[in-house]
A and B are shown apart, each in its own frame.
Chain A
Amino acid sequence: MQEQNITFYDGQISKPYPATIAPIDRETVLICYNQQQRRYYYADMQLIGALGQIQPVIELKDDARIEFPQALPDWFELNKKHVQHSIWKLERSPSLILFSVVFVAAFIFAILRWGIPSAAHYVAMQLPADTIYKLGDEAQEQVFKLTAPSTVPLARQKQIIQSYQDLVANGQPAKVLFRAGGQIGTNALAIPNNTIILTDELVNLAKDDHEIIGVLAHEQGHLVERHSLQQALSSLGFSVLLIAVTGDSSALFTTLPVALVGASYSRNFESDADLYAMQVLDKNHISSLHLANFLARMEDDVRAEEEEKQPQGKSEEEEEGGIGSFFQSHPATQERIAAIRQFNQQQRLSN
């Protein structure tokens, strides 16, 4: 039995007719409906394959339409039908769906972990150095509002800047500014208009000038590697990816994950900057342990301050790995200190 039942629309009005379809030869089919007959060439057909439970449909040149109640009959000669059928099968087979999930998840993880950072690094280095100077100027203004003029004696400032020029600058000197910390407390900032800001609190906390050199080298690392620009570029890249996958571009939906992933990238930038600092220190024959010592003291300082505020509440330092550490915004200081100590040991072994 080659004849098959179909639903047929004649292309003039919207009424569906029960009809039959049967082959005439290898190029044409015959459709019988409502006591009428029509002959159609395969060449005039546009096949729209099955999709989920929606069965195949054929749109015809004269705007008529054939709806099949089940899969296309075997005798049907349209050559595109196999491709369409295999995609349909792919979408319905559990093992292939599972494979797709795993593949897509791995792909997205790889893009997030390596693709976006290396693309951002490459693009950031290609762009002119002053790309985000304006943004940097604005950020600097903000920082100035939060801080007050420095009380560090000018002579001391000059001395620090001099050793920065001698040991760290390496042909790309940045402007070094001193401010009284105020709300930002013990801190050092690298601002993408080629400026490093040190707070008085930080200068005073250091017990050795080598520690300040370490901090300056760390910030210099941020500037040389253009981390702010990289951060902006990777956020952009990630939001494009997110919209492409989920198809949702509402502001709130994209901002939160972008912020989370951005935090993870900034963690990597911190370790990069640490590495840069250690190399600078090493080149100048200064032990990188100075940086580790300073980080440790800074953390003790912060903890002491916190306990002063709320004596009973212990600060919740999360030191778990895995997903938790991937999304953590501030790099766990302990981890950084350990990394520096390890670097130091390796250096000693190789010497």
Chain B
Amino acid sequence: MQNSEASLPPVEASFEASWPPPPAVPTDEPNAYLGQTFRFQFRGNAREYFGIWIVNILLTIVTFSLYAPWAKVRRLRYFYGNTVFYRRKFDFTGVPTRILIGRIIALGVYFGASALAQVSWQASLIGFLIIFLLVPWLVRSTIRFRARNSKFGNSRFYFTGTTKEAYILALKGILIYIFTLGIFFPVLFWYFKKYTLDNLQLGQLRFELHADWPDYMRAMYVPVFLFIGIVFVLGLFVAFTLQVGSSSPTQFGIIVAVIYMIAAFMIWPLMMARIFITTWNKATLGRSPFQTDCGQMHYAWIVMTNWILKILSLGLLSAWAAVRLYQYQIVSLTLTLKNDPDRMYNLAQDDPNAIAEELSDIFDIDISL
């Protein structure tokens, strides 16, 4: 058994002296934890997850993809269930059979749309338009389903964002994007993060994102400017050395391609890192603030090398790469407790169906930001 305890950074006040813990007994002195900072921990490891991941693929193949919902639940559960805070685990309680039904309906819609495309291009255009118009609803339903089936201890997450809000935000986002010629695209990220976090509840406690849109402008434009600077210096260097040798259009083409590759490799991971840091340093749950101490360069390095290693290993290192990034994110997080984690309500709610989540899965709408 591999224990990640040794490699963890020092925790301000650790409740994790022994593992597995005895059934949790609340401390005798109430409020002993108040104002104290606790770190999130991740107990999974790549070796264990590799077994789950490869068996998921095997069973999905053998069952002609009928197993896919179970695979999905097991994957999510592995990450949630091994995430520990204040001696309580997270969990994902989505029921695979219900997801399977959602998936079958989604497939039906998909094939319906494809069949429509065979009739005429106008019909397929209308189908495409309908799906496009459904996107805000799909996104909202997906977040809602995911939240409702996520637990911390035994309190459920709950998403209160309305469909109307989702459509208004989508419209605002599109207008801003068009009228600023795309320059203000980080504002769209800000809208999305704010919509997801400000409407998220754990028990009766509400998440809140205190970041403002200029924070996201900074998060996403610093990598761009950094990159422009690097390209400028490199360009000068290349221009100088090429003067000495002989330059040809093909050489120039190769240089442009290399610079483009570096751009894609560097800018996006750094943006991801900075968005993560900006979000979690400005988020609160009830009165308790989150903090993350992850380094942007370290984070970007992990994303970048994950890509490279996945390609070099022909996908075999995917499981390891997923654990590596998730562990880095989770272990960097702390929460300063100002609410009692024993006094959160369960907040039972009606069960939104899985259809929307599965629809957005089939149509490959990536909302994992």
A interface residues, Cβ below 8 angstroms from B: 5-7, 9, 11-19, 46, 48, 51-54, 57, 59, 63-65, 69, 87, 90-92, 96-97, 100-101, 103-104, 107, 183, 242-243, 245-253, 256-257
Contacts and interface: CB of A to CB of B under 8 A. Distances in A.
Contact of B48 (A7, A13, A52): A52
Contacts of A14: 88, 152-155, 203, 341-346
A59 to B, nearest CB: 6
B154 A11 contact: yes
B307 A253 contact: yes
A16 B346 CA distance: 12
Interface residues of B, number: 59
How would you classify the secondary structure of chain B's contact residues: helix, strand, loop or mixed? mixed
- In the A-B complex, the 9 residue pairs with the smallest Cβ-Cβ separation, listed nearest first, are A9-B154, A18-B23, A14-B344, A15-B342, A54-B81, A100-B58, A14-B155, A16-B24, A100-B54
B311 interface: yes
Contacts of B265: 252
Contacts of B156: 63
13 contacts: A14-B88, A14-B344, A51-B74, A51-B77, A52-B44, A52-B48, A52-B52, A53-B48, A96-B55, A100-B57, A103-B58, A249-B364, A249-B366
Contacts of B264: 251-252
B93 A48 contact: yes
Contact of B55 (A19, A59, A87): A87
A294 to B, nearest CB: 25
Contacts of B175: none
A51 to B, nearest CB: 5
Interface in B1-35: 1, 20, 22-26
A101 B56 CA distance: 11
Contacts of B261: 252
A107 B44 CA distance: 28
Given A7-B23, A13-B343, A16-B24, A91 B51 contact: yes
B286 to A, nearest CB: 12
Contacts of B322: 247
Contact of A51 (B20, B78, B314, B348): B78
A242 B20 CA distance: 38
